[in-house]
Structure 1
Amino acid sequence: MARGIARAASFGGRAAAAGWFSYRRITVAVCIANLVAALLVLRSLTSFAPAPKRVEVVQYTEEQIRRVEESIRIRREAEPVELVQAVKKLRKVFAREEKRRKELPLELKLRVSYELVGRLNGLGDNGTAIQQREALESWRVETLKDAKSASTRNSSNLGLSSEEARLLKRALEFNWHALLEDIGLWISPEVPHTEHDDKPENEPEEEIIAGPPLHPQCNTELHADYGGAAVRWGLTHHKESAADCCQACLDQARNAKPGELKCNIWVYCPSEFGCYSPDKYEHKHQECWLKQADQPKLNFKDKYSESYRDSHPRAPVVVPWMSGVTSA
């Protein structure tokens, strides 16, 4: 009897515990816990949110307001109203022309291009730009006359309908150059050129000397060949420019040791084809001869004489060398 009562009490306790931990109560508890966690997260986020900025209202004085209004008035008066209106009108004109150009059907453009190319081919390969322009202009005048008369006879020499003749007539009258661009034809414009010969008579032509400018001490003479004792053999002494050759002469004279010849004459070959000399050597471009003479004398100047060239057939007309007697 006692054992039965104890067993019944034990079963009732387990039943009570099972009722307390039911699925409904567990679900409610989990939902409440999630809600509390969400509220805590939301609070933490809002606590770090930046405070709204204060909008400061600037108070302007009457003098500042007057200056602002004055600047607005000056800016409006300085606005190029006429220029803006002219630009607007031009934009409308260009828009209309572009629209008219696009109205021309592709098939009609191809037909026009074939006609123009055939007209240009008739000139041959030796046709000048002027002849090409004249040929195209002649075709335009003939076609325009045909398009104008097509409306009266409802036919055209090109086989155009009245609508095609109307579109082509408009293109030839107002958009001729644009039509040429569309079909890929461009003829260089004729640039008038007037030759002005205002150079004084007997004025020598100015020659350009390659390289840096020469020092006044060089006393440069074009087409001149001075003689003298060789201080530096030019066959093995080349310089990039005449200025470098002259500077080499000045440096040699400045640094010469006692008893040595001091350079006071420099002779340079500026020609890329070499320079003629009556000796047996071949004188090449950029040869720089350093010479010395107490009384410098010219071997040749400007041109070789006819008698000299008769006896020296290899001699050119003009003396190719350039040289100078330094004033250091």
Structure 2
Amino acid sequence: MARAEWANYCSNSGSNNGRGKLCSYKKSTLVVCSINIFVALFVLHSLYNSLYIYPYNDSINAFKYTSDQVRKMEESIRIRKESEPTELIKLVEKLKKEFLQEERVVEVPESLKQKITNELLLRLRALNASANATEQREAVEGWRRAKLREVKLLIRGETTNSTILPEEAGVLARALGSGWTMFSEEIGLWIPLQIIHKEHDDKPEGVDEFDHEILPGKRLPPECHGTLHTDYGGVAVRWGITHPKESAYDCCMACLDQAKNARPDEKKCNIWVYCPSETGCFSPDIYEHKNQECWLKYAEQPKLNFKDTYSESYRSSHPNAPLIVPWVSGVVSV
């Protein structure tokens, strides 16, 4: 019974005391609310059954495959698996594992790293002052092979006459073997490649052998006075971080051009410093110096900052310093 009908019924029978008590406002409200709650619960129950029970039953019937359909799906899966290049996939996975193993960085203790670096320094210092890049590289490679043989004998217990401790042998064998590329970069060992320029075999007398060191771009002319593994100081005429050049030749030419075209109130470039290393070049400042940086500098009396290798005392106070000075630089005549 609706609220309006119930109120009409109560008003028509108000003279009857029994009905008047029954039809009091509070009781009538309670009865109507009870009826509404019952109806609401019934509706919710119906919705629940229609939404969750019937669709579930329908889904069971809807996704029922026939035996012929199942057979065709199994046949399709079998054909797809047979057509997969399983041998090629296995070979790729194997090569990937080997590659990752070779490229894995070997964690070498700092004390052992320092010991190896000092030995390399002694080996390089034993070379003639005129040793070129090929001779330096061969000396390092000969040292590495000899040290690797020494470490392997130490691992097998066939020698005790070694500067390497037995507990260091395993990690050093990996560092000098498969991890040599990463390890040599980590200690800052960078030696440029070398090549003879066939089109310039008629080298003028007095030109430095530096001209035979391969660097990106053209060969440096004599007026550049380029020298490997050197870093000159001076006032920056052109900030190298924002002044990349393709090659050391281009960097030197930029210095000569700046000196030629400088205004009367400008300092003329007489020092150029170039970073040829693909992994960047070390400097004790706060900046990260990248490959192809070209610094143009001026100094009334040019002075070397570093040459050939960083000293042991300097590397002790600058742990990130590499073994060899990576910069190429020169003092030009203006």
Whether TM-score is above 0.5 comes out as: no
Which TM-score band (shorter chain)? 0.3 to 0.5
Structure of larger gyration radius: 1
What TM-score does the superposition give when structure 1 sets the normalisation length? Answer: 0.38
If the length of structure 2 is used for normalisation, what is the TM-score? 0.38
